[in-house]
Amino acid sequence: MLVDLRSDTVTRPTAAMREAMMSASLGDDVFGDDPTVNALQQRVAALTGKEAALFMPSGTQSNLCGILAHCGRGDEYIVGQLAHTYRFEGGGAAVFGSVQPQPLAQDAQGQMQLSDIAEAIKPDDPHFARTRLLCLENTWNGHVMSDAYLSAATQLARDRGLSTHLDGARVFNAAVASAAPGQGALDRLREMADFFDSVSVCFSKGLGAPMGSALCGSAELIARARRIRKMAGGGLRQAGLMAACALYALEHHVTRLAEDHALAQRLAQGLRGLPGLTLRSAQTNIVFIDVAEGCGPDLVAHLKKEGVLVTGMVGLRWVTHLDVDEQGVDHAIAVVRRFFGASP
Ligand SMILES: *Cc1c(COP(=O)(O)O)cnc(C)c1O
């Protein structure tokens, strides 16, 4: 048995998703002619409450086009020290856009202190880059950011004349996990998107599409982003093949994210109390576990031998998704318990 918990990006398109792909109407999207891409863009713009959306090959390109649509050469964006848009995108905004990041420390929930944000906003002075944008990320390491924080941080940014961008690679997980009783996940998504001028969402993570992201924002912002996407080589032709998967995923794979969250809880529960393991969080579909000094590499090797794949060596990350079921999670738990000589 192979249980791949490295990421929610490892899922294969389902049979129904492949069907949707095969029957999609196609056109040349660089001419704006692909009806399936257009339908997806309209759908995701409506879901996030924005005027327009743009389909992108990856989340990295979506964030890059977003940042460069907000900021010009010599501008800067405020971003978490460990945020994807600073740390994990190859410095793209600086490399391609001459946009300087201003990274700030984050707490365990991924939040930058409001006072740090306020202090980092530079006065209009030729010594400084022009501070233009605040970037947040939700979920962050599986955590759902509170509305209180989203509201306060984006209000602070607006009061100081900054735009706001959400890296919402897993914002669907955040919406499902934090919807009020009786509230639909998509209504919740809209509420969270409302705090921001632009939102980037991924279809290739928990939603299970083979690839693709979308940047959502005002018509004007998206027009600028379209130009930048073309420069970045992201103008694709019959992209409706991929947009069909994303549309299918929006229709069928959002509410089921609750199953991934329940499996993450089951995994956390099964591993709780083992000496040498410290569970950090399991709020959505990502479980972080710190392994006691020295035994991380042995545990990871043991897991691999038994067909359980995770990422990390000391702080291990376990991600549940569409292609993992209860049996797989129980296998992973049993393998870890055996390693520690605990009863199954
Ligand atoms: C995955 C991810 C992205 C985008 O990654 P791609 O691999 O380029 O699609 C952006 N932000 C976060 C937080 C992510 O997890």
Domain boundaries, the chain: 15-252, 256-339
Query: CATH second-level architecture of 15-252?
Result: 3-Layer(aba) Sandwich (3.40)
> Which has the higher per-residue pLDDT, 69 or 275?
69
| Residue 148 clears pLDDT 90, i.e. is over it | yes
256-339 has which CATH code? 3.90.1150.10
Res 293: pLDDT: 83
- For residues 288 and 141, the answer to whether their CB atoms sit within 8 Å is yes
Res 118: pLDDT: 98
Q: Which residue has the tokens 């991934």?
A: 260
Task: Indicate which residue's Cα is closest to atom 2 of ligand 1.
Answer: 169
In this prediction, what percent of the chain has a pLDDT beyond 90?
A: 93
pLDDT, tens only, 80-122: 999 999 999 999 999 999 999 999 999 999 999 999 999 999 9
Structure tokens at 203: 């279809």
pTM: 0.97
Query: In angstroms, what is the span from residue 208 Cα to ligand 1's centroid?
Result: 14
pLDDT, tens only, 67-91: 999 999 999 999 999 999 999 999 9
Structure tokens at 173: 């997980």
Distance CA 172, CA 147 (A): 15
Average pLDDT, the chain: 96
| Top mutation candidate among 56, 58, 60, 286 for ligand 1, by most atoms within 8 Å of CB | 60
- Does the beta carbon of 245 sit less than 6 angstroms from any atom of ligand 1? no
Helices 257-271 and 326-339: crossing angle, nearest 10°?
20
Q: In terms of Cα–Cα distance, which of 6, 36, 43 is closest to 254?
A: 43
pLDDT, tens only, 172-188: 999 999 999 999 999 99
| Residue 314 clears pLDDT 90, i.e. is over it | no
Q: Please name the residues in contact with 274: beta carbons below 8 A apart, sequence gap of 6 or more.
A: 336, 337, 340, 342
- Does the beta carbon of 200 sit less than 6 angstroms from any atom of ligand 1? no
CA 302 to chain centre: 29
Task: Indicate which residue's Cα is closest to atom 6 of ligand 1.
Answer: 59
- Does the beta carbon of 165 sit less than 6 angstroms from any atom of ligand 1? no
Residues pairing with 135 in the sheet: 165
Query: In angstroms, what is the span from residue 59 Cα to ligand 1's centroid?
Result: 5
DSSP string, 206-250: TT--SS-EEEEE-HHHHHHHHHHHHHTT---SSTHHHHHHHHHHH
Res 341: pLDDT: 85
- Does the beta carbon of 89 sit less than 6 angstroms from any atom of ligand 1? no
Buried b (16+ CB within 10 A) or exposed e, 276-309: ebebbbbbbbbbbbebeeeebeebbebbeebebb
Q: Which residue has the tokens 């998509």?
A: 186
| Residue 280 clears pLDDT 90, i.e. is over it | no
| Residue 284 clears pLDDT 80, i.e. is over it | yes
pLDDT, tens only, 26-37: 999 999 999 999
| Residue 344 clears pLDDT 80, i.e. is over it | no
φ and ψ at 342, to 5 degrees? -90, 160
